């Protein structure tokens, strides 16, 4: 029984050592750092602006009801 686990363990270890992720998004951020960071900041500030403007819209509706 131990031999089966030993074979499975060595096979899994060989598979893990050969695995290499090929992600175009990861390559984009590592090769083009300025564009990658710029894209992240644009996404972050866009979401932040949407939240702020939505909050201001809700507040103005509440003030008009009073």
Q: Which domain holds residue 44?
A: 33-66
Task: Report pLDDT for 32.
Answer: 80
22 domain-assigned: no
Task: Report pLDDT for 62.
Answer: 78
Q: State the Cα–Cα distance between residues 45 and 43, nearest whole angstrom.
A: 6
45 domain-assigned: yes
- pLDDT surpasses 60 at 59: yes
User: At which residue do the structure tokens 């009073």 appear?
Assistant: 66
pLDDT tens by residue, 2-43:
677 666 666 666 665 565 666 676 777 777 888 888 988 999
Task: Report pLDDT for 41.
Answer: 93
Asked whether the beta carbons of 27 and 35 are under 8 A apart, the reply is: no
Task: Report pLDDT for 42.
Answer: 95
| Phi and psi at residue 34, to the nearest 5° | -65, -50
SS3 20: coil
User: Structural domain tally of the chain?
Assistant: 1
Give all strands (DSSP E) within 1-66, no chain letters: none
Task: Report pLDDT for 52.
Answer: 97
């Amino acid at each position: 029984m131990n031999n089966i686990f030993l074979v499975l363990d060595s096979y899994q270890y060989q598979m893990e050592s050969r695995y290499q992720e090929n992600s175009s998004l990861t390559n984009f951020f590592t090769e083009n750092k300025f564009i990658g960071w710029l894209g992240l900041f644009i996404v972050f500030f866009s979401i932040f602006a949407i939240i702020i403007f939505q909050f201001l819209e809700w507040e103005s509706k509440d003030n008009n009801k009073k």
